[in-house]
């Protein structure tokens, strides 16, 4: 991650609350002035993703690529790479992007691709993390920011946030508690990467 223009491209599929938290911290902490970094684009695989409308309102370039319009994963990922690379990103941030990426995609962005996963990895990779944590009787749950490798939800851990699992928690109440921490942790983790890159 070098050079003065550190473009960040964020991929979302839904609400985009982590994306919004990153955009807002970037503004508050003057990432542009300090690191030459800015969120250059927000891209979604769903045109109706509420986060996409929010980003557009903020004056950020947005794009939607409907994965169902492509013959297979390789074709979709190739189109996604083309769209992302228009911005020459220093960092590609997955923030609730609900698609499994091909090894080719991951290789292409090696060293500049990060994700947030709503569990304390390496526990509970995959889906329904909060439900599984409750069912297993976990006393603590949380979220992890990690580098992305071709193995799902693996890769170097960059940050973790822990919350208690409370009696009577449902997957939704636990998700809400974890998400609050995600909004603090993810922007900070991105900022640390920008800082480390100088």
Question: Which residues are near ligand GRF by CB under 6 A?
Answer: 12, 14-19, 51, 95-96, 116-118, 143, 179, 182
Best CA proximity match to 145, nearest among 175, 113, 177: 113
3-state secondary structure of 167: coil
b/e sequence 165-184, b meaning 16+ C-beta within 10 Å: beeebeeeebbebbbebbbe
Q: Which is nearer to ligand GRF, 7 or 115 (CB)?
A: 115
- State both tokens at 46: 């769903």
Q: Which is nearer to ligand GRF, 80 or 198 (CB)?
A: 80
Q: Which is nearer to ligand GRF, 77 or 182 (CB)?
A: 182
Least distance in Å: CB of 20 to ligand GRF?
8
DSSP string, 24-67: HHHHHTTHHHHHSEEEEEEEES-TT-HHHHHHHHTT-EEEE--G
Least distance in Å: CB of 196 to ligand GRF?
22
Would residue 183 show up in a list of annotated catalytic residues for this protein?
Answer: no
Residue number closest to ligand GRF, CB atom: 96
Least distance in Å: CB of 97 to ligand GRF?
8
List active site positions: 117
């Amino acid at each position: 991650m070098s050079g003065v223009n550190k473009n960040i491209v964020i991929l979302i599929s839904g609400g985009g609350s982590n994306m919004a938290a990153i955009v807002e911290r970037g503004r508050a902490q003057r990432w542009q002035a300090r690191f030459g970094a800015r969120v250059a684009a927000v891209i979604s695989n769903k045109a109706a993703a509420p986060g996409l409308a929010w980003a557009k309102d903020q004056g950020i370039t947005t794009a939607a690529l409907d994965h169902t319009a492509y013959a297979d994963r390789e074709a979709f990922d190739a189109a996604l790479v083309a769209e992302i690379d228009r911005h020459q990103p220093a960092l590609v941030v997955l923030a609730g992007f609900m698609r499994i990426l091909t090894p080719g995609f991951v290789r292409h962005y090696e060293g500049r691709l990060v994700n947030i996963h709503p569990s304390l990895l390496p526990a509970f990779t995959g889906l329904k993390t909060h439900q599984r944590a409750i069912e297993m009787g976990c006393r603590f749950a949380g979220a992890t920011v990690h580098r992305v490798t071709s193995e799902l939800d693996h890769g170097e851990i960059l940050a973790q946030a822990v919350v208690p699992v409370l009696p009577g928690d449902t997957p939704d109440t636990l998700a809400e508690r974890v998400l609050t921490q995600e909004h603090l942790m993810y922007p900070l983790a991105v900022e640390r990467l920008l800082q480390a890159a100088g």
